[in-house]
Amino acid sequence: MPLEQRPVASPFGFASEARDVLAGIDLTGRTAVVTGGASGLGVETVRALARAGAHVIMPVRNRESGENVAAGLREATGNDAIEVADMDLADFDSVRAFADGMIGRGLKIDILINNAGIMATPERRIMGRFESQFGTNHLGHMLLAQRLAPIFAPGARVVALSSIGHRISPVRFDDPNFDNGGYEKWTAYGQSKTANALFALALNARLEPRGVTAFSVHPGGIMTNLQRDMSQDEIRALGWVDENGKVRDGFKTPAGGAATALWAATSPLLTAGGVYCEDCNVAVAVDAGEKAMSGIRPWAMDSEAAERLWAMSEVMLGEKLPA
């Protein structure tokens, strides 16, 4: 059965930025984990959490880059409790090692924001067999949440960054890794973003009984290094920038793009777990053929599809959610 998407009376919206959303919220004594925290939206996400007093952990693929960013954020926020750890979402042993390290420290995690991602990549494989966008954006993050689940604090929230790109494709259950050929980078991206939304729905169903909720979010259109696998000609052809490289109206700043994830991670107005959010509110459900650049499509809010994806992903990962 489909998920119910009911907007709430949020005081924030499209133009809200990270700092606005966390104004007046005290996260002192709380621990947050943010993937992709060393670039783009991740930097602004970490910055806002640290300003609110949180202890923030940034698992990163490039340790040197991560340490440089963290040092700047410590100075800018006055919060020394920003730390860097090694983790590569495309290397599942690395994900397991990071999670095991968190458990070994006796930490309790209050916020997990699955922010990292890749988009529109050439056909690549991770772990020798998984299509890279599905494998990195979905499987790596699912494994991370699975492994960290035993140390989620009561009241913890998990936020998965999906995208309006989910409208491109449902999960291709018959061939998620394009093993039968026909790879198309936008279809692969769309599938991975649908998978992020369905993951949050399925995770929430498992953890909400113990007071842990999960959400998915569309951060909005933002020009960051997420576009690193796209040429400038392609970006211009899509109308994202003009011939002079100026970003078109309707795109958000990185701080604006971080706002919805932070809202989902902290807002007291958000009580229904599993929902898909955009512009600092619960998104509305729209029909499959809707052309608008907003709302959630039916295939990304289907609880049966979420369970099917969960089961398929557990087989791929060889992991079950810890009790």
Annotated catalytic residues are 189
Question: Nearest CA to 193 among 176, 214, 218, 175?
Answer: 218
CA distance 229 to 97: 28
H-helix or E-strand spanning residue 262: helix 254-266
Q: Which two tokens stand for residue 147?
A: 């492994």
Rounded to an integer, what distance in angstroms lies between the CA atom of residue 111 and that of residue 214?
A: 10
CB atoms within 10 A of CB 8: 14
Please give the full DSSP string across 216-257, using - where no structure is assigned. EEE---B-SGGGTTS-HHHHHHTTSB-TT-PBPTTPBPHHHH
β-sheet bridge partners, residue 276: 216
Neighbour tally for 97: CB within 10 Å:
15
> CA-to-CA distance for 140 and 122, rounded, in angstroms?
19
Residue indicated by tokens 């902290």? 266
CA distance 153 to 143: 18
Residue located via tokens 């990195």: 136
